[in-house]
Amino acid sequence: MGIFKSCFSFMVGTAFGVYVAQNYNVPNIRKLANTGFVIAKHIEENYRKPKKGDDGD
């Protein structure tokens, strides 16, 4: 009986997620995360302290 309980909640959650994705304007999470990583990388490269042995040559 335990497998039916977990399967039922998974299937209801999947069906609800499909319904929400089709009927509402849900943002693309992967695109949003990639944009965040690009911004974080840009900030890190611009504000990182230079290494002690780095002369720029």
Structure tokens at 12: 């209801």
Q: Which amino acid is at 9?
A: S
Q: Pick the more confident residue, 24 or 6.
A: 24
pLDDT of residue 52: 77
Query: SS3 for 33?
Result: helix
pLDDT of residue 15: 96
Structure tokens at 56: 């720029």
Q: Say how far apart CA 49 and CA 37 lie, in whole Å.
A: 20
pLDDT above 90: residue 27:
no
Environment class of 48 (CB within 10 Å of its CB; exposed 0-12, middle 13-18, buried 19+) = exposed
Q: Percent of the chain at pLDDT above 90? A: 54
